[in-house]
Amino acid sequence: MIIDFRLRPATRGFLNMHIFRNQERIASWSGRLGMVPPPSAKQGDMELMLKEMEEGGVTLGVVPGRQANAFMGNVPNEDIAAIVADYPGKFIGVAGIDPTNRAKALEEIERFVVNGPLKAVGMEPGVLTSPMYADDRRIYPIYEYCAEHGIPVLLMGGGGNGPDLSHSNPIIIDRVCGDFPEMTVINTHGGYPWVTEILFVAFKRPNLYLCPDMYMYNMPGVSDYVMAANTFLSERFLFGTAYPFIGFREGVEQFKALPFKPEVLPNLLYRNAIKALKLDIPCKE
């Protein structure tokens, strides 16, 4: 079993996002990682994407909704719920939340997560129309609600998370994890490029999971991620491709080729994802 913890499928509202519309941008980002965009991403072909998932050995994909600025694009939670329903057993949905509208955010969480099919909440405060930091106190009522209801929270922290690198400073994640120790936090993009710093935050905050996804491929700092995954982070490190930037077969092959200990690899590929999202599925090899 392999669970890809971060992908954006080639269907519904995702096709209106720049990552599918701007092929030059996809090729540029993939090329800098030493990769080539997969054919399904170039064609915006969902059936081909499913075939590529199967060929890469990816069993399930975690699909986050997105509430962001006009450039990054928006994918409503109705679309995420529909994708989960349209392709049963293939995708795990995450509700994308805009924390600037707190009342609507809480309403969406209740509708799509507490009483709906989605398994977690995702926020990307740095790429909102009016960027925020993830430790902004205006977001705290949302964290409080998620903590009370046992809802995992995905926070984008790393990569292009905001107008500058300050939005990915691991101190922000450290504060959120410290203020809500009972809430599971998954840091997508793995705090990159603040690798050493985010690893220490994960060392001291047992409620923090890391998913470096696309920054595990041919980037400085990968050896530090591997060292952590082999030791203290072996039960809180997650595999992800960030499709459409990385293809499934290439992503899986290169990830497995890294010097992970054989005994921890199943944790990274699926067991940790099952635990983080509290999924009721058997852990099959």
**Residue 21 maps to which CATH number?**
3.20.20.140
Count of domains for the chain:
1
Query: Is 82 a domain residue?
Result: yes
pLDDT in tens, 225-244: 999 999 999 999 999 999 99
The reply to whether 174 falls in a domain is yes
Measure the CA–CA gap between 27 and 112, rounded to whole angstroms.
Answer: 34
- What does the alpha-carbon distance between residue 131 and residue 144 come to, in Å, rounded to a whole number? 21
Task: Determine, yes or no, domain membership for 283.
Answer: no
Which residues are 156's β-sheet partners?
188
Domain for residue 183, yes or no? yes
pLDDT digits (tens, 9 = 90+) for 210-225: 999 999 999 999 999 9
Report CA Rg, the chain: 17
Strand partners, 75: 66
Residue 285 located in a structural domain:
no
Does residue 29 fall inside a structural domain? yes
Inter-residue contact 185 to 155 (CB < 8 Å)? yes
Angstrom distance (rounded) from CA 218 to CA 270: 22
Residue 285 pLDDT class (50, 70, 90 cuts) = low
Which pLDDT does position 15 carry in this prediction?
A: 84
Is residue 281 situated within a structural domain?
Answer: no
H-state helical runs in 87-207 = 102-109, 140-149, 170-179, 195-204
Q: What is the mean pLDDT of residues 260-270?
A: 98
In contact, 19 and 241? CB cutoff 8 Å: no
Asked if the structure places residue 284 within a domain, the reply is no
Lowest mean pLDDT among 9-23, 81-95, 207-221, 246-260: 9-23
Sort residue 254 into left (φ over 0), alpha (ψ -120 to 50) or beta.
Answer: alpha
Residue 224: predicted pLDDT: 99
Segment 48-107, tens digit of pLDDT: 999 999 999 999 999 999 887 767 778 999 999 999 999 999 999 999 999 999 999 999
The boundaries of the domain holding residue 23 are: 3-276
Amino acid found at 64? P
Give the pLDDT score at 283. Answer: 63
